[in-house]
Structure 1
Amino acid sequence: MEKITKESLDQFKDKYNKEETNRVIQNAIAKVGINKSSIDNNLSRRHNFVFSNETEKGEITNQKSSGRCWMFAALNTARKDTMEKLNVKTFEFSQNYTLFWDKLEKSNYFLDNIIETVEESINSRLVQHLLTDPVQDGGQWDMFSGILKKYGAVPKSIMPETYHSSNTNELNQLLTAKLRDFAAKIRKLHETGSTREQLIEQKETYLYFVYTLLVKSLGEVPESFTYEYRDKNNNFHRISDITPREFFEKYVAWDLEERISLINAPTEDKPFGKAYTVKYLGTIKEAAPVKYVNAPIEALKKAAIQSIKDGEPVWFGCDVGKMLDREAGIMDDKAYDYEATLGESVELTKAERLDYGESLLTHAMVFVGVDLDGERNPIKWKVENSWGDKSGDKGIYSMSDKWFEEYNYQVAVKKKYIDKEWLKALEKPVVELEPWDPMGALARLK
């Protein structure tokens, strides 16, 4: 085994001190950090926050200290149709309502998976994967689609935010600890001879604890409600005695079966033109499994552009932390010139970043516009984020088209915006990916 020697360290030091610019860069980094020292000052010139094609959108939302970005993005996509149907300038769904059902359903999903794997060793990779983070805030498009189908949605005023919907860490820590406690008890019951039916019966008592914890932390969910509002013309309206599912079906009126996910995972193990799912990934046990079609990045761009041109916002999942100027609200592959300050940049390809654990889906947002050049090619993308209005252009972000290519992984759009070449994958057998595959990553960044 080779060790770092004093001779090597002396050589490093001598070489470093001979480079005159190193001291200047060192002082700058010590004062403001690597990113601010490396920022490309032409960044704002490339991003003027003017776009040739835009969709309607509501006021900027704020997920606060929670990882509910995928919910905010999905509901912000849906509210455009609700705003039209209600004739209002803006509208916001209750993300607390969907959070409640997501936590309860994830708990059930986890406990069912524990029952299914009782024969596995506690040290198996699968069981340890299931135990790692069973009820965190994150999710993907198909997981939220399942929630909407089963539970619908309600206006924010019907189930407003609580402390723990906006600040989920304490709730998640306690709920995770209890679910692991329940998992241990289930496995011990199995070891002492309990049948599967007995384990499922015991699971119901555990779910009651989860339910009570969620009601105390997030509030009771409404079975039906009355919603009052004023439209753009200041006319008063009252929608009486409607259920959450009825509200979604009438005032969003989506056919969720017509919306699918395209992903871009250009790795050798995932050929384009095939549909994929991830084992043990989901929220609602009885819902259809997560499924997406892997396609070239140009297919994702084309579908998103067609949707935006048609006035339809687009839910998407990306690795938002890469090459992001969060204060300016700019995502640009040239945002930071690390080669100038550090001597080298990261040279991994998109496929290599996935294979080597350097990148995966971390955050979900909404495309609400695109800037096309004279030949109708995208220059940059208008993005509605859910981090409040203090960053970007009052909460609106700008993404370069090259950033889209490098760090965007998923879009959810209507089938009619997708070329038939890629839809054919839905007619073929679905390829199952391992639970720890990078395409099983969840959007959850705060």
Structure 2
Amino acid sequence: MSSEITKQQLTEFKQSAQSPLTTIARRATTKNGIHNASFNQEIVNANVPTFSIDLNTGKVANQKKSGRCWMFAALNTMRHDIKDLFHLDGDFQLSQSYTFFWDKFEKANYFYENVLNTANSPLDSRQVSFLMATPQQDGGQWDMIVSLIEKYGVVPQSVYPESAASSDSHEFNITFNTLLRHDAIILRDLVSQKSSQHDIDSTRKNMLSHIYRVLSITFGEPPVTFDFEYRDTEKQFQIERQLTPQTYFEKFVNWDLSEYISIINAPTADKPFNATYNVDMLGNVIGGRQVKHLNVPIETMKSFAIAQLKDGKSVWFGVDMGPQVDRANGLMADGIFATDDLFQVHSDMTKAQRLAYGDSLMTHAMVLTGVDLDENGHPIKWQVENSWGEEAGKNGYFTMSDEWMSEYAYQVVVKKEYLGPELVNIYDNATPKLLAPWDPMGALA
């Protein structure tokens, strides 16, 4: 049964929008916009950027017009350790363009794999439609950067600097996705024609050769060996010769990446806590580390992050960076924009409802570098190192209220040692539940 909007209803609606309060709100909003008209200064006053635990992590990086936040966040956590151990100045960075190159290369191969695995499904099936909608994108997950580093290592930004396309990836992604969809047509046709595995493999290898050439032209040829020269904070000249990206990682980072795992908070009925989850068709490196999440209550997730910060280690974490974020003040705080008060409506939902109804998912990864604890050790607010350059927030740093973290933070990466033996055993040994490719916990930061 349909129910059209009648002229009588329109008259009633118009009358209901003529109160003095509505008139004042309309004047403020049409002149200043929704956020400025609903801005709540009291929330700013309650979130002064001072923290009881505050790591000195140096200058922020800038991902510019690209979706590499997950790489920046991961490489920044490693950079913090390198800076302290080798006495490098605050400008030092690992090359985000280097990992970007290899991510694009591996994502092409991963896409080909998924195309072949679904080649007998119709084009309008949900899986194939999902694949073709976005063959690849800039975003990623923690386990995906681990796969890249384990295979390709890392290099300093001075060795492999930014390119035009790594700093502004829009036109490259359009070009690249068109090429991948073209290749998908060929691969699906080969399967439908019952071509031999040899012919399919040969065609795929030829496609990857073309992909490599495109990437090399776009981003520059990645280094195989290099010398690393620098002056430390004592102005002493240092040089390491004939390094590879792998030996550079071993010498300057030397993390056991198997010890760092993804913890999520997804309080929906289909994802019980204290269980692990994989996501179908999500990844980049075939044969690399699978994306795997351990789901826990939000207070448990926070406690792991606090423990790692107390040990002087920053924390990779993922959030929905859309709602209630004030870039100018560098503030992530629920209620900073009182839009329900402005419009005299109610739009409140639980975190589970926002996930289930498509109102929220993880969209951005950053680094926790501090936390303000009360006298009982409970968090009040958190310090966040972003990757939007120094002009956003306070010299690139944001303050996140603890209430905002509860509602919009979905993931942290911590060492297993903070979990306790029971949760470590679940992560290591329990069989993960496989989530659909379009599940919100498969979102890429």
Q: So what's the TM-score if we normalise by structure 2?
A: 0.98
CA drift at 1:339: 2.4
CA drift at 1:421: 3.7
Residue deviations 1:229-284 (CA, integer Å, cap 9, x gap): 00010000011100001111111110000000100000000000101000110010
Aligned to 1:369: 370
Aligned 1:283-322 pairs, distance under 5 A: 283-322=284-323
Task: Between 81-90 and 117-126, report the one with greater CA deviation.
Answer: 81-90
For residues 188 and 37 of structure 1, the distance between their equivalents in structure 2, rounded to whole angstroms, comes to: 56
For residues 156 and 58 of structure 2, the distance between their equivalents in structure 1, rounded to whole angstroms, comes to: 13
CA drift at 1:422: 2.6
CA gap of 1:344–1:424, structure 2 versus 1, over 3 A, is farther
Aligned to 1:428: 430
Aligned to 1:252: 253
For residues 321 and 208 of structure 2, the distance between their equivalents in structure 1, rounded to whole angstroms, comes to: 34
Preserved CA contact (<8 Å) 2:387 2:396: yes
Aligned 1:269-280 pairs, distance under 5 A: 269-280=270-281
Preserved CA contact (<8 Å) 1:72 1:95: yes
Aligned to 2:7: 6
Aligned 1:18-417 pairs, distance under 5 A: 19-90=19-90, 91-417=92-418
Preserved CA contact (<8 Å) 1:58 1:79: no
Residue deviations 1:127-162 (CA, integer Å, cap 9, x gap): 111111122100010011111111110000100001
For residues 122 and 110 of structure 1, the distance between their equivalents in structure 2, rounded to whole angstroms, comes to: 15
Preserved CA contact (<8 Å) 2:316 2:367: yes
Preserved CA contact (<8 Å) 1:75 1:93: yes
Is the partner of 1:239 in helix, strand or coil? strand
Q: CA RMSD in A?
A: 1.0
Is the partner of 1:277 in helix, strand or coil? strand
Aligned to 1:442: 444
For residues 229 and 89 of structure 1, the distance between their equivalents in structure 2, rounded to whole angstroms, comes to: 10
CA drift at 1:22: 0.8
Preserved CA contact (<8 Å) 2:44 2:336: no
For residues 14 and 227 of structure 2, the distance between their equivalents in structure 1, rounded to whole angstroms, comes to: 71
> Which amino acid is the alignment partner of residue 431 of structure 2?
P
For residues 345 and 242 of structure 1, the distance between their equivalents in structure 2, rounded to whole angstroms, comes to: 59
> Which amino acid is the alignment partner of residue 409 of structure 1?
Y
Task: Between 125-134 and 394-403, report the one with greater CA deviation.
Answer: 125-134
- Segments of structure 1 that go 5 or more residues without pairing to the other structure are none
Is the partner of 1:42 in helix, strand or coil? helix
Aligned to 2:419: 418
For residues 199 and 422 of structure 2, the distance between their equivalents in structure 1, rounded to whole angstroms, comes to: 48
Preserved CA contact (<8 Å) 1:115 1:196: no
Is the partner of 2:239 in helix, strand or coil? strand
Preserved CA contact (<8 Å) 2:146 2:289: no
> Which amino acid is the alignment partner of residue 28 of structure 1?
A
Residue deviations 1:408-444 (CA, integer Å, cap 9, x gap): 000001011123343232221111111111100000x
CA drift at 1:193: 2.5
For residues 327 and 355 of structure 2, the distance between their equivalents in structure 1, rounded to whole angstroms, comes to: 23
Q: Where in structure 1 do 4 or more consecutive aligned residues deviate above 2 Å? A: 419-424
> Which amino acid is the alignment partner of residue 430 of structure 1?
P
For residues 56 and 77 of structure 2, the distance between their equivalents in structure 1, rounded to whole angstroms, comes to: 10
Task: Between 112-121 and 193-202, report the one with greater CA deviation.
Answer: 193-202
Residue deviations 1:352-382 (CA, integer Å, cap 9, x gap): 0000000000000000000011111100000
Task: Between 116-125 and 240-249, report the one with greater CA deviation.
Answer: 116-125
> Which amino acid is the alignment partner of residue 439 of structure 1?
M
Residue deviations 1:139-195 (CA, integer Å, cap 9, x gap): 010011111111110000100001000010011000000000000011112222312
Preserved CA contact (<8 Å) 1:56 1:311: no
